[in-house]
C-alpha cells in the first residue's frame, strides 16, 4: 500500500492572507492524521509565503505524537538547512525555488554542475547531522537527470507530476506521462531508490497512478485544502484514504 502524504501548506496560505492565528496548522495536521494520512508534508520556503519556522517545530511535535513521519520540503538555502537540522524530520525533500513562481514549477536541474554541487553539500550535511534522516529529490522523470541522482546520498526521488495532472484535468492524452513514470520507477527500483510522486494531483488524477502501481508515496495538498472549503478537511482526507484503499 503506497503512503498518502497530506500537504497542509495552503492551510497556512489562508492564515497568512490575513496575518491571523487561524486556521490552525496543528489542528489541520492532527485532523489529517486522524483520518488516514500516513504522513504530513510541509514546504518551508525561503520567502516564508505560507509555512513559518515555528510551524515546522509545531508540526514535528504533532507527527511524533502520532508516530508518523514529517516530510519537510525545502530548498538549499543555509537558514532553511539549519532549521531542518534542528527539527530533524523523518524525511526531507529537496526542491527548487524561485521567488517569482506561484508554486514549484518543475524538478531540480541536476544537469547543472553548480546546482548538483550545492545539493551534494546539502545532502552530506543532512546525513551527517540528522540521525536516520531520509532524503528525496524532486525531479522530472528523465533518465539523464535520474542518473545524476545516483551520485547523491538520497533514499528516494519524488517525480514531478504537475504536467501530467494538468493534462489529465484538461482531457489530454496522458499515455506519454504514464510511460515515462513507469520507466523512471523501473530505473529507480534497479538502483534501490524509492519512487514517490507529487504536485497537482487530485482524487481523480491519482487513480491511473494508483492502478499502475507506479509509486510508493503520493503527496497531495492544494486539491485537498480546496475541497475542504466545501466538504471539510476530515471528510476529504478520509475519502481520499478510501480511494487509495480501493485502488491499490
Q: For the chain, give every domain's residue range.
A: 3-247
Reported as a pLDDT band with limits 50, 70 and 90, residue 6 is: very high
Q: What is the CATH number of domain 3-247?
A: 3.20.20.70
With residues binned 3-state (H G I as helix, E B as strand, rest as coil), the percentages for the chain, rounded to 5, are 50, 15, 35
203 CB burial (10 A radius; 0-12, 13-18, 19+): middle
231 CB burial (10 A radius; 0-12, 13-18, 19+): exposed
Q: Which three cell numbers stand for residue 144?
A: 539523464
Q: Which three cell numbers stand for residue 49?
A: 509565503
How many CB atoms are located within 10 Å of the residue 240 CB?
A: 25
Could you give the CA distance from residue 25 to residue 156 in angstroms, rounded to a whole number? 26
Residue 246 has pLDDT above 90, yes or no: yes
The lowest-confidence range among 56-60, 100-104, 143-147, 214-218 is 100-104
Instruction: Tell me the mean pLDDT in the region 123-138.
Output: 97
Q: Which of 73, 140, 158, 227 is labelled catalytic?
A: 73
**SS3 state of residue 50:** coil
pTM attached to this predicted model: 0.95
Whether 160 is catalytic is no
CB 84 within 8 A of CB 74: yes
Whether 163 is catalytic is no
CB 134 within 8 A of CB 156: yes
What pLDDT score was predicted for residue 98? 64
Whether 43 is catalytic is yes
Q: How far is CA 247 from the centre of its chain?
A: 21
Residue 33 has pLDDT above 60, yes or no: yes
Q: Which of 10, 160, 196, 199 is labelled catalytic?
A: 199
Instruction: Tell me the mean pLDDT in the region 1-17.
Output: 97
Instruction: Tell me the mean pLDDT in the region 69-80.
Output: 96
Reported as a pLDDT band with limits 50, 70 and 90, residue 153 is: confident
Q: Which of 10, 43, 50, 196 is labelled catalytic?
A: 43
Amino acid at each position: 500500500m503506497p503512503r498518502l502524504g497530506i500537504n497542509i501548506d495552503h492551510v497556512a496560505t489562508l492564515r497568512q492572507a490575513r496575518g491571523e492565528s487561524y486556521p490552525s496548522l496543528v489542528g489541520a495536521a492532527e485532523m489529517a492524521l486522524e483520518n488516514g494520512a500516513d504522513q504530513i508534508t510541509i514546504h518551508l520556503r525561503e520567502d516564508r509565503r505560507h509555512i513559518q519556522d515555528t510551524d515546522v517545530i509545531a508540526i514535528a511535535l504533532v507527527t511524533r505524537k502520532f508516530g508518523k513521519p514529517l516530510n519537510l520540503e525545502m530548498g538549499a538555502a543555509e537558514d532553511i538547512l539549519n532549521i531542518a537540522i534542528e527539527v530533524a524530520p523523518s524525511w526531507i525533500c529537496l526542491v527548487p525555488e524561485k521567488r517569482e513562481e506561484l508554486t514549484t514549477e518543475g524538478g531540480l536541474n541536476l544537469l547543472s554542475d553548480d546546482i548538483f554541487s550545492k545539493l551534494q553539500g546539502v545532502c552530506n550535511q543532512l546525513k551527517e547531522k540528522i540521525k536516520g534522516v531520509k532524503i528525496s529529490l524532486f525531479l522530472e522523470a528523465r533518465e539523464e537527470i535520474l542518473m545524476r541522482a545516483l551520485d547523491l546520498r538520497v533514499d528516494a526521488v519524488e517525480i514531478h507530476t504537475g504536467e501530467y495532472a494538468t493534462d489529465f484535468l484538461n482531457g489530454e492524452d496522458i499515455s506519454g506521462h504514464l510511460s515515462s513514470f513507469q520507466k523512471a520507477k523501473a530505473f529507480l527500483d534497479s538502483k534501490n531508490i524509492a519512487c514517490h510522486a507529487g504536485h497537482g494531483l487530485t482524487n481523480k488524477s491519482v487513480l491511473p497512478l494508483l492502478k499502475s502501481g507506479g509509486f510508493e508515496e503520493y503527496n497531495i495538498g492544494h486539491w485537498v485544502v480546496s475541497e475542504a472549503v466545501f466538504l471539510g478537511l476530515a471528510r476529504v482526507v478520509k475519502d481520499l484514504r478510501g480511494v487509495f484503499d480501493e485502488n491499490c
